[in-house]
Structure 1
Amino acid sequence: MRTRVLAASATGALALTALAVPAAQADGGSGDIRITKVVVDGDNKVTIGTGSAKTFSVSVTATDDSGIAGADSFTLAGPGYGFESTGKPSCKKVSATTSTCTASVKTDPRTDYLSNAMAGTWYVGVWIDANDHDYVWKDKAGSFKFQRGSALTTNASPEPVKKGKTLTVTGKLSRANWETLKYGAYSGQSVQLQYLKKGAKSYTTLKTVKSNTSGNLSTTVKATADGYYRYVFAGNSTSGAITSVSDFVDVK
């Protein structure tokens, strides 16, 4: 992701002029091409941490009576002056009239100068050509969440514990800071405490806990049987969902 264009100039001002968006700002085109589906990274969520690069796909399905000839590079634009364009998409026929065109994007938080303000809803700009020389341009053909990575821990104690006694379940929720390349406390977030009884097949949500100013979580439950405890954060528009490693408790 070439967000490195946001690097400060020698004067300290952001080089915003480098963020030139394609000339066609408004939707437009000719003929009856229809864009029927836009999918980014499989589920329209892209979560980036602090330590490694990630490559994700952008797929656009379009249809026209004459068939789809091809697509120009897709554009991705979001908050905080975030902007990217993919390479030339590869189009595969679904039928005589419909094709899915796919391209990939690589982003690396260590070299791409991501700012935390870039997290949020991004939009996919699409240019599609048909075999009869019709075309369509949509500035916001689809959208996806560009999210800061999250981290979450769980620890239940004491271990082992007598049946009926109180267990204290602690943990910590943090999220990636793209500007410092470190994870920091994520406060004020609702996190579910879940329990899986030994031998059972699915977790049960016991309660919802809010992270404090240090990102810490703490609550108590009664020990009833051997089982696993874990915290689960559902994520939001700017931060990725995360499930902690479970902690097994032996109940005597």
Structure 2
Amino acid sequence: MRIRATVATATAAALSAALAVAALAAPAAGADQDDSATTFSNIDVNHDWQDYTVGVDAATKRLIPISATVSDPAGVKSVSIELTHGEDPETADGFMNAPARCHKINEITSYCEALLTANPKVNLRSNALAGLWYLNFVATDGDGNVTRADGIDNVFFASVKRTTYMTQTDATPEPVKKGKNLTVKAQMTVASWETNKNVPLVGHQLLLQYRKGTSGPFKTLKKVKTDRNGWATATVQATADGAYRYTFEGTKLTMPAAGWTDYVDVK
């Protein structure tokens, strides 16, 4: 067996180690050998949803589908897929992996898909693991040669984020006289992988939006930060019948969310 590395974002040390292993495992001079590394194309993470973004709840595991078209002149024997929190798999502080199921397309090409499990009770027990995870493939061809591919084809990550939740937007008083003030509130919570509960989302910006009548686009009225209990509270002047809502655009670590609208009758 020979180990072959296809590396786009590997460190120099990791590359040197891979080449050293390959040299030790090389076949005798004159033996037939396939020197071409296995190739990977049509890579898809979580069905390409929002740039490979995956939201994980506080206490519920989440399956992450990852697939690729895999080719090698000697055929494809097996493929495994990894996600690591940290660019170098040797020093990563988070790890997920699973064997892929491969369906043969022709003698040299297979379609391979794996379901990796993100579990707050097993491999996501810290909120610090939210964010960028690197994608790695390990393939064995029909001759037993192994190719490791890290960060290939510029599709080398998944964004694993904490899910967020928002209560229904509540505008009071209702009904309200035209020109009078309305107080509009909503509460945000976020999944904590450490406590396996939803906790207040503190100090994050929400957009207070308004839509006149019952149809048409929403207009942003104010930007409001959540307090220590996750509440966003704003005061606006009632002008006409319409719906109010809060929305959260999300961050690099948290998913977006939107509250149900509250329709206000203005007298």
TM-score, normalized by length of structure 2?
A: 0.72
What is residue 182 of structure 1 aligned with on the other side?
197
What is residue 93 of structure 2 aligned with on the other side?
81
Question: Partner letter of residue 74 of structure 1?
Answer: I
Q: CA RMSD in A?
A: 3.1
Question: Partner letter of residue 249 of structure 2?
Answer: A
Deviation of the 1:143 alpha carbon: 0.3
Partners of 1:48 and 1:54 within 8 A in 2: yes
Matched, 1:215 2:223: no
What is residue 7 of structure 2 aligned with on the other side?
none
CA separation in 2, counterparts of 1:157 and 1:68? Answer: 67
Deviation of the 1:75 alpha carbon: 0.8
- Cα distance 1:131–1:226, how it changes in 2: closer, same or farther (>3 A)? farther
Question: Partner letter of residue 245 of structure 2?
Answer: R
Q: Deviations for 1:199-230, whole angstroms, at most 9, x for unmatched residues?
A: 32332222221222332211122222222221
Matched, 1:232 2:237: no
What is residue 21 of structure 1 aligned with on the other side?
none
What is residue 26 of structure 2 aligned with on the other side?
none
What is residue 149 of structure 1 aligned with on the other side?
163
CA separation in 2, counterparts of 1:164 and 1:206? Answer: 16
SS at match of 1:74: strand
SS at match of 2:194: coil
1:16-35 alignment to 2 at 5 Å?
Answer: 25-26=14-15, 30-31=35-36, 33-35=38-40
Deviation of the 1:131 alpha carbon: 7.1
- Cα distance 1:176–1:33, how it changes in 2: closer, same or farther (>3 A)? same
Question: Partner letter of residue 38 of structure 1?
Answer: I
1:113-124 alignment to 2 at 5 Å?
Answer: 114-124=125-135
**Structure (1/2) with the larger helix percentage:** 2
Matched, 1:241 2:249: no
Deviation of the 1:249 alpha carbon: 1.5
Matched, 1:158 2:136: no
Matched, 1:105 2:116: yes
- Cα distance 1:126–1:219, how it changes in 2: closer, same or farther (>3 A)? same
SS at match of 2:151: strand
SS at match of 1:225: coil
Q: Deviations for 1:4-28, whole angstroms, at most 9, x for unmatched residues?
A: xxxxxxxxxxxxxxxxxxxx95488
What is residue 27 of structure 2 aligned with on the other side?
none
Q: How many residues align?
A: 227
- Greater shift after overlay, 131-140 or 76-85? 131-140
What is residue 57 of structure 1 aligned with on the other side?
65
Task: Name the % identity.
Answer: 32
Q: 1:204 aligns with which of 219, 225, 232?
A: 219
- Cα distance 1:113–1:75, how it changes in 2: closer, same or farther (>3 A)? closer
What is residue 46 of structure 2 aligned with on the other side?
41
SS at match of 2:96: strand
Structure 2 unaligned regions, length at least 5: 1-12, 23-34, 87-91
TM-score, normalized by length of structure 1?
A: 0.75
Deviation of the 1:110 alpha carbon: 4.4
